[in-house]
Amino acid sequence: LEGSQPGFVSLGLSDVFVTFRNQEVLKGVSWDVKSGDRVGLVGANGGGKTTQLKVLNGELEPTTGDVVKSSADLRVAVLRQEFVDELVPERLLKDEFMSVFKEENEIMESLRDSEQELEVADCDPADSDKMQDILDKMQRLQAKADAKDVTGLESRAEKIMDLMGFDNVDSALPVRSFSGGWKMRIGLGKVLLKDPNILLLDEPTNHLDMESVEWLENFLRNQNIPMVIVSHDREFLDQVCTKIVDTEGGLATTYDGNYSKFLKQKAAKMKAWQAKYDAQEKKIKEEKAWIQKFKVKQPVAVKQRLAKLEKLQNSDSYVPKPPFLGKPFKFRFPPAPRLSDSVAEIKSLSHGYSGNPLFSDCEMTIERGDRVALLGPNGSGKSTLLRLVVGSETPEKGTARLVGQNVVCNYFEQNQADVLDMNLTVEQVVSGASGDHSYNELRALMGQFLFKGDTVQKRVEQLSGGEKARLSLCCMMLKPANLLILDEPTNHLDIPAKEMLEEALQNFDGALLVISHDRYFISRIATTICAIEEKEICMYPGDYRFYMEKNERVKEKVEGRYVGGKKIGNAAVVVVEEKKNFGGKAAGVSGRLDKGVKNAKR
């Protein structure tokens, strides 16, 4: 990939304004991505990130302002969120990669058709004019084919397939036989086959397991292509990005460094801005007080000071009022009955589907106060384990059940939206789920889940899949419970909503069992890690950092990939108890050093 890159490339926005229906979406945005940059484009949903990507890619013309390119023929490629929808499930892998070359394939198809026409015309020597026309057409097509280097396309596809980790056997398999993580590699490989100078990635980690996310991090860091990445995955942004563009209210500010450095720089910048503004306002207040005091006795001096004050307020040195960021929205789960010591247990559990076992003779207990994160690759049985615990699925062998007294369980699953009443509005659904929360509290909570203004009056049937998932999670948080079982709760949430959920879970005094591929989220809320490793449940009696230190396979991988980013910290808790062994197989320093489910392609 490096060989095709010119010495220096850049793509940027210069004083770009975009207006939709008399509303300014972008307000004088200026920033660029150039050789050596991996830019993270961050901000709350609705802040203009997608609009900026569309302008950069030429899909949207700015109302005013310019898109600045280092060369007129700069090639920009996008890996969209919906790339999986563009794959053809029944198509063979190699054919899927070759489908990128649409124009080249059409040329080759026309050449084959012309060859057949020539064979037919050859049977009729009298029609020499027709034969000549066909030969002329073939000559033109061949010239186009040579210019496109069609004979080298297959070799290019094979090189990219190899780069993505596919082997010769994989090339003859249908696309549907690959897991989500490997489909991401297909989508990324197809984008790279377009030989881009600039790469735009829109939420590339969505629905990927940790193995796939870590592979993508490592791959992107080793590419020579400048890239812009839209993501709500804070750990991913920390590991990949060299620059952050913060989008807020249609404005964009650039910060050097990864996501953690950006947070520190932004906080320092806002603090300094506020201090300068306060000092300026104090001076203006004192000046106005002097003017008021001496407006009769010293009219000439007062006039001079008024002119000086007006000049300051109209000058470039005047410090405008900083944007009001407000305090982070804090939510508390409603009170619920106190739990008994034991909450849930798994005994001698074996389970699977169609002869393919997921678990083999597993043991596990959850006690009051436990905050357990369930980890494992896609397809390892995490969601199945939750269904077994809550009783919506029956184990083949052994038991999995809730055992405590007074257990009030709220279970959030990925298809939770299916039970919503399609005829109700968002506001009606949330109000119906609420107990004694005030209307203002409900509006604030809905706002955190991006239901603002008129959107609270939308009927559920009008919502997208992601909006329905957010609505379901919002309702679940309003119902009293002392046991929360959450399956990928952060999917479809932006960073402010994730932070609100994290803070609420940190203050939840019941038991928690959660599945998430968001490493930053897990590091903030889990005090115990439960890893599904080779059909066994292995308990790590500590937070995510403890898990990384004790699991040698993970430890080596993590230590090898950190590049000055903020390492994952400890969960925000007062104390992490060294529990017995949680009823599961203890995962100490020895015993499971090289275990772990591989991210199988199929």
Look at 588 and 99; give whichever has higher pLDDT.
99
Residue 268's pLDDT is what?
95
pLDDT at 558 over 80: no
Residue 579's pLDDT is what?
33
Look at 15 and 117; give whichever has higher pLDDT.
15
Average pLDDT for residues 396-414, to the nearest whole number? 91
pLDDT at 597 over 90: no
Residues 6+ apart with CB under 8 A from 524: 502, 506, 571, 572
Residues 6+ apart with CB under 8 A from 106: none
pLDDT > 90: percent of the chain? 53
Residue 598's pLDDT is what?
30
Residue 581's pLDDT is what?
36
Residue 555's pLDDT is what?
55
Look at 61 and 130; give whichever has higher pLDDT.
61
pLDDT at 224 over 50: yes
Residue 124's pLDDT is what?
65
Average pLDDT for residues 345-353, to the nearest whole number? 94
Single-letter amino acid, residue 81: Q
pLDDT at 262 over 80: yes
**pLDDT class for 104, splitting at 50, 70, 90?**
confident
Across-strand partners of 374?
A: 515, 530
| Residue in 151, 162, 139 with CA at minimum distance from that of residue 104 | 151
pLDDT at 83 over 80: yes
Average pLDDT for the chain: 85
pLDDT at 197 over 60: yes
Q: Rounded to whole angstroms, how far apart are CA atoms 287 and 312?
A: 12
Indicate the DSSP class of residue 155.
Answer: H
pLDDT at 578 over 60: no
pLDDT at 3 over 80: no
Average pLDDT for residues 90-107, to the nearest whole number? 88
pLDDT at 575 over 80: no
> Which DSSP string do the residues of 474-497 spell out, in sequence order?
HHHHTS--SEEEEESTTTT--HHH
**pLDDT class for 364, splitting at 50, 70, 90?**
very high
Residue-wise pLDDT for 37-65, tens only, equals: 999 999 887 788 999 999 999 999 999 99
Residue-wise pLDDT for 446-480, tens only, equals: 988 888 888 899 999 888 878 888 899 999 889 99
Single-letter amino acid, residue 542: G
Residue 385's pLDDT is what?
95
pLDDT at 77 over 60: yes
Which of 122-136, 366-380, 496-510 comes out lowest in average pLDDT?
122-136
Average pLDDT for residues 500-519, to the nearest whole number? 93
| Residue in 254, 187, 192 with CA at minimum distance from that of residue 225 | 192
What sign results for the dihedral spanned by CA atoms 583, 585, 589, 595? negative
Residue 188's pLDDT is what?
94
Which of 215-224, 254-263, 373-382, 552-561 comes out lowest in average pLDDT?
552-561
Average pLDDT for residues 10-14, to the nearest whole number? 97
Residue 529's pLDDT is what?
94
Q: Rounded to whole angstroms, how far apart are CA atoms 520 and 155?
A: 40
Look at 383 and 82; give whichever has higher pLDDT.
383
Residue 5's pLDDT is what?
56
Residue 406's pLDDT is what?
87
Residue 126's pLDDT is what?
62
- Dump strand ranges (E) for 249-396: 251-256, 342-353, 356-367, 371-375
Look at 72 and 133; give whichever has higher pLDDT.
72
Residue 325's pLDDT is what?
64
CA 239 remoteness from chain centre: 13
pLDDT at 582 over 70: no
The model carries a pTM of 0.78
**pLDDT class for 439, splitting at 50, 70, 90?**
confident
Q: Report whether 42 contacts 259 (CB < 8 A).
A: yes
